[in-house]
Structure formats: C-alpha cells, structure tokens
Amino acid sequence: MKTLKSKISLGVIFLFVVILLLSVLGILFINQLAQKSKGTIVDNYSSVNYMMNMISELDDFNTFQLKNLEKKSFVDSAADNKYQDSKNIFEKNLQFESGIITEIGEGELVNQLHSAYRDYLSTYEQLKNNHQLKEKDYEILRKRFLSVRKIILNIYHLNMTAISHKTNKLQTTADEVTLYMSIVATVSILITLSFIFTFPSGIVGPIKELTEKIKSISEKNYDQKLEINSNDELGELAHAFNVMAARLKLYDAKQIDQLLFEQKRLETVVHTFEDGILFIDENLKVVLVNNMILQLTGLKEKDVLHHYIPEISGYNDLIKEIYKTVSLKNSDSEVEIKPIRIVQGGKEFFFNIETEDINTYAESEKKETFIGNLILLKNITKYQERDKAKTNLLATASHELKTPLSSINLSLKLLDDKRVGVLNEEQKEIISALRQHSNRLSRVINELLDYSQIETGNIRLKFSSVKPDIVLDIGVTALMMQVSEKNIDLQTIVEEDLPEIHADLEKLVFVFINILNNAIRYSKKGDEIKIEVKKVDNDVLFSIKDSGPGISKEDKEKLFQRFTQVGEISKQGWGLGLAISREFLHAQNGRIWVESELGKGSKFIFSIPGITHLSK
C-alpha cells in the first residue's frame, strides 16, 4: 500500500515534467522571435525622439531670435542663457542622430540638415548686427528656419515609415509564435486537467472533509466524526480527530457548567456592593453593571448592558459624568476630579468616581493588553457630612474665638498705656510674650476662617485693577520687622512697565505675605532672600527665593495639601497657608508652584494674568 507521501510525490513529478516541457518550448519560440526582431526598430525610435526634441528646441530659439531682432537689445542675460541651452540641446540631438543612420537616404538628409542649420544660424548672426532691418530680412530668416524644420520632418517621416514597415514584419512573426505557443499551451492544459481529475480522490476528499469538521469544532459544535477507512496517514489522522472531538465535547460540557456557576456567583457579589460598579471594554461598551449604578441612574439593565457609554451619556447625566472621568484619565489630564452630588428622595448623596485600567497578559505576545476600565462609584456621603460638620465647627469656633481674642488684644493695649500704670521690665516681657501668642492665635483663626470659606465654596473676591509693585510694597512692609530681626539681605527686582492685574488685592497680599513669611522663617540670620516681579508672556510672575534647607521631592508633592507642614523647623500654624494661597490664586485664574532641592533653598512662584491678556 502506497503511503500518502509517495502518492503526492508521483503527482508532483508528473506536474514538474509538464511544466519543464512547456518552459523549454516557450524559450525556443521566444528566442526565435527575439532573433528576428533584434535591433530592428530601436534606432528608428531613437531618431524619431531626436527629431521631436530638435523641433521643440528649434521653435524655442527661433522665438527668442525674432524677439531680439525686434527689440534691438541683447542685454537680457537670462533669456540669452536659455537661448544657448536650446541651441546646445538641438546640436546634441543632431549629433546623436548622425551616429545612428539606419535607413536609405537618411544620411543624405542628415547632411542637408547640418548645412541648413549652419545657414540658418549664420543668417541670424548677420541680421543681429544689422540695425536697419527690413521685412525681406525677416523673410530670409524665416525661409532658413522653415528649411531646417522641413528636413527634420523628412527625417522624422522616414523613420516612422520604417517603424511601420518593420512592425508589420514583426507582427507576422509574432502571430506565428503565438499560434505555436497556443497549441503547446492547449495540449499542456488538457494533460494537466486530465491529471487533476484522475488524481486519487482519496487524498483530496478526506482533507476537504477534515477542514469542514475542524471549522464546525471551532464553532463549538463537537458532534463531529470522520468516516475514513484507509491504512495511510489520513486514516491515522481521522482516528485521532474522532478521539479529540469526543474529549472536547465532554470537557466543554463541564466547562460551561463551571463558567455559568462562576458568572452567577460574580454577578451576585457585584450586585450586593453598596458602591456602584461599571465595567467598560476597550471599545467603550458596557459589559458589567450592578444594581447601585442602575438605581442611581434610573436606568434598566437592558438600557445599559452591551451599549456604548458615549451613546448612554447623551441622555443620562450621571453616565455623562462617568464618561467624562474616563476621558480625562485616558488623556493624562491633571484636572482635579471632584466628588459628584446626587439628590434622591430629597437627600444629598456624594460619590467619588474612581477608574482603574484593566490589563491582561498575553503569553503569545509577551506583553500586557488593555481590555477595559473598571469604574467605581464610592459612596462618600458620610465622610462628606463629617467634613461639612468639621468645616462648620471650625468656622463657628473661629468666629467665637475672635471676640475674646479682641478683648485680650484690647487689654494688652491698655496695659501698655502708661496712664494705667508703669510696668517693670519683667511685666513688659510677659506682655510681649502674650502679644506674640495673641498674634499667632489671630493668624490661626484667620487661616481657619479662610479655610472654611474655601471648603464651603464661598470665597468672596473683590476684583480691581492692581499694580504689581503695590502687592510687593504692602507685603514687604508688613514683614519688615521679621526681616530686621534676622538681618535678612532682602533684594527686590521689579521689571519696568509691568501691566496691571485684575485681582483681589487683599487675597493677593495674603499669598505674598504667606510665602515671604515662610522664606524668612526657614532662613538663617544674614541669609539672602530675592524677590522678583516680571512679565512672562501675558502673565505677571512673583517669585520669592530663599537660601533655606530646601524641600525634598516627596514633600513637594504634598506641599499644597491642607493641614500639611514640611521641614525640620518648629511648626507654627496648622499647615493651611499654602493650601489657602493656592485656592485664592485658582479663584483669580492664577497658579502657584515651587522649585526646590534639598540643601539649595526654595523658590516659590505664583502668576496672575495681566489685564491685557484678560481683555483678549
């Protein structure tokens, strides 16, 4: 019994012999045609091409000659260069034509062309030097030009006639070769078709059946069986396939039950979550949603599941906010994502939207593949209520503390009045210490009141046109005592012709004083602090640079957070100054940042748009 390999080998050898025979005959016939057509019309085509080029250039420099003779001027160097280029191209093509004379009478015409061309150029040179040109002079030049053109056309027609004649001869030979090749090709095709139809169907049929069965298995239709009774490789393959199909059917039945169970359990767990859960795939299609999301949106599962989230966001505000959050994250935006507020049953609820990219590791590609976003709506209502209560408590306590603090400051002022009585040195030191503590407590209370304004979103701003140097003067004057106590070398650089800024002077001075006060606090005696005010693009920049210990990278990331203090110097206040400063600047379309390294001091910069920029 022949194996499948031997059967295929015999078939391939047969086809190889047929192809070899056809190739040899084809080469013989094509070689015969090539011998007859070798070098017959190439030179004629070249001559035709040269003649066309010469006519084109002849017309160009004839036009130039006529214009020059009419203008009586030869100073246009660009036109003269172009004229010389045309002559060179003409003469080059004439030289080429002289070297490929193939037809009877073509050599005589080429000699006539040389002579007529020389006469034509000679006539032009004579007329160019004659300043009293008449109509007959132009006529002579025209006759010389037409004589040259006529000879060129005669050479052109001579070669075209030769091409036509030789082409007819080649066509006759090609027809003969085509006939012979057609006979050979027809015989070869008939032999090949006969072989294809007579090739053992036991090879092609089982392979086709196997392909169809495999396609059915790929569609999870495992009830497949191959009926092939042969002792070659195809019989062994059919037996192995039947065993595989039976085992896949058994395995699939078990897997489906297991997957359905796991899916049901996962859905049950997801639906019991108090937080909203939404999963969208890489194409922004919703593939998982729990009851909390449905309850908050007022939508039904069929309206959300397997729908595109951009489509749903068009008619549901909550889904729109979720989609906006996903878009911001995918665009690497630094915009702060704030909690969303939802009112249900007359009660406020607050939720944080958190998104997480889900990736799966593809073993075949050895890399992670993005498969979607998991979105969590975390209920932070109780934390928001506590935060609001805390803010209200701070605001109330601060207001309540201001009254007794005012009384304490008034009492300290009365004690300083000599009309009440003269104090000894020890009493003066006690009063000085009390006044310092009172001032510190006053700053803390003011910070807490500003913080409560920010937390409740009730920042009250009084905008006006402010000159940048006024902010600098007020801030420096307020802290001049601290500067003198530490003997700080304070340098100020203010750029001339600064634009006015549209800002709240009081809030802007608060920011400046807060930063400058920090710079003084972290500076040693005799250190230098450099203040610079300048215009950059359409903004006015205030920068305060100290020579203090600097700020680490980790501390810089949390520097503008509330209730955060960094550095090793004894802490004062509640760590709200920079956080409040940032909020004040944001409310005025400004921004603040820091440049610092450990051991190299710190430079705080804040900017406010100029009025010129705002008017645009």
Residue corresponding to tokens 């305060």: 544
- Final residue of a domain: which of 243, 269, 295? 269
pLDDT tens for 141-179 read 888 888 888 888 888 888 888 888 877 777 777 777 777
Distance, C-alpha 137 to centroid of its chain: 71
* Angle between the N-to-C axes of helices 42-71 and 135-198, in degrees from 0 to 180, rounded to the nearest 10: 150
- Residue 549's nearest CA partner among 572, 567, 531 is 567
What's 64's domain CATH number? 1.20.1440.210
| pLDDT of 364 over the 80 cut | no
CA 414 vs CA 127, 131, 207, 429: distances in Å: 120, 118, 111, 15
Considering the domain architecture, whether residues 54 and 129 belong to the same structural domain is answered as: yes
Query: DSSP labels for 479-490?
Result: THHHHHHTT-EE
Considering the domain architecture, whether residues 501 and 367 belong to the same structural domain is answered as: no
Considering the domain architecture, whether residues 68 and 192 belong to the same structural domain is answered as: no
Q: What's residue 544's pLDDT?
A: 93
pLDDT tens for 45-60 read 888 888 888 888 888 8
Identify whether the C-beta of residue 496 lies closer than 8 Å to the C-beta of residue 456: no
Identify whether the C-beta of residue 86 lies closer than 8 Å to the C-beta of residue 53: no
Q: What's residue 385's pLDDT?
A: 62
Give the mean model confidence (pLDDT) for residues 479-500. 88
In a domain, 176, yes or no: no
| pLDDT of 112 over the 80 cut | yes
Identify whether the C-beta of residue 483 lies closer than 8 Å to the C-beta of residue 526: no
In a domain, 518, yes or no: yes
Give the mean model confidence (pLDDT) for residues 309-322. 81
DSSP conformational letter for 610 = B
Considering the domain architecture, whether residues 425 and 509 belong to the same structural domain is answered as: no
Considering the domain architecture, whether residues 445 and 580 belong to the same structural domain is answered as: no
In a domain, 170, yes or no: no
Q: What's residue 339's pLDDT?
A: 74
Considering the domain architecture, whether residues 506 and 557 belong to the same structural domain is answered as: yes
Considering the domain architecture, whether residues 313 and 222 belong to the same structural domain is answered as: no
Between CA 154 and CA 54 the distance in angstroms is 13
Considering the domain architecture, whether residues 24 and 70 belong to the same structural domain is answered as: no
In a domain, 174, yes or no: no
3-state secondary structure of 420: coil
The pLDDT-based confidence of 410 (bands split at 50, 70, 90) is low
pLDDT tens for 250-285 read 776 666 666 555 666 666 666 666 677 877 888 888
Give the mean model confidence (pLDDT) for residues 521-548. 90
Q: Which regions of 3-140 does DSSP assign to beta strands (E)?
A: none
- In this prediction, what percent of the chain has a pLDDT beyond 70? 68
pLDDT tens for 470-487 read 999 998 888 888 888 889
Considering the domain architecture, whether residues 103 and 159 belong to the same structural domain is answered as: yes
pLDDT tens for 207-219 read 777 677 777 777 6
What's 394's domain CATH number? 1.10.287.130
The domain in which residue 291 lies consists of 273-379
In a domain, 211, yes or no: yes
In a domain, 58, yes or no: yes
Q: What's residue 331's pLDDT?
A: 61
In a domain, 14, yes or no: yes
In a domain, 511, yes or no: yes
The helix (run of H) or strand (run of E) holding residue 602 is strand 602-609
Query: Between 283 and 231, where is the model more confident?
Result: 283
Sign of CA dihedral 339, 341, 342, 346: positive
Considering the domain architecture, whether residues 491 and 416 belong to the same structural domain is answered as: no
The pLDDT-based confidence of 420 (bands split at 50, 70, 90) is low
Q: What's residue 603's pLDDT?
A: 92
Q: What's residue 387's pLDDT?
A: 60
Q: Which regions of 173-317 does DSSP assign to beta strands (E)?
A: 276-281, 286-289
- Final residue of a domain: which of 326, 349, 379? 379
Query: DSSP labels for 93-124?
Result: HHHHHHT---STTHHHHHHHHHHHHHHHHHHH
Q: What's residue 363's pLDDT?
A: 60
What's 301's domain CATH number? 3.30.450.20
- Final residue of a domain: which of 212, 245, 269? 269
Query: Between 116 and 557, where is the model more confident?
Result: 116
What's 604's domain CATH number? 3.30.565.10
Question: Phi then psi for 337, rounded to 5 degrees?
Answer: -90, 115
The pLDDT-based confidence of 606 (bands split at 50, 70, 90) is very high
| pLDDT of 616 over the 50 cut | no
Considering the domain architecture, whether residues 254 and 362 belong to the same structural domain is answered as: no
CA 592 vs CA 8, 280, 585: distances in Å: 80, 37, 7
Considering the domain architecture, whether residues 496 and 584 belong to the same structural domain is answered as: yes
Between CA 413 and CA 425 the distance in angstroms is 16
The pLDDT-based confidence of 308 (bands split at 50, 70, 90) is confident
The number of distinct structural domains making up the chain is: 6
Give the mean model confidence (pLDDT) for residues 517-533. 89
pLDDT tens for 71-110 read 655 546 777 788 788 888 888 888 888 888 888 888 888 8
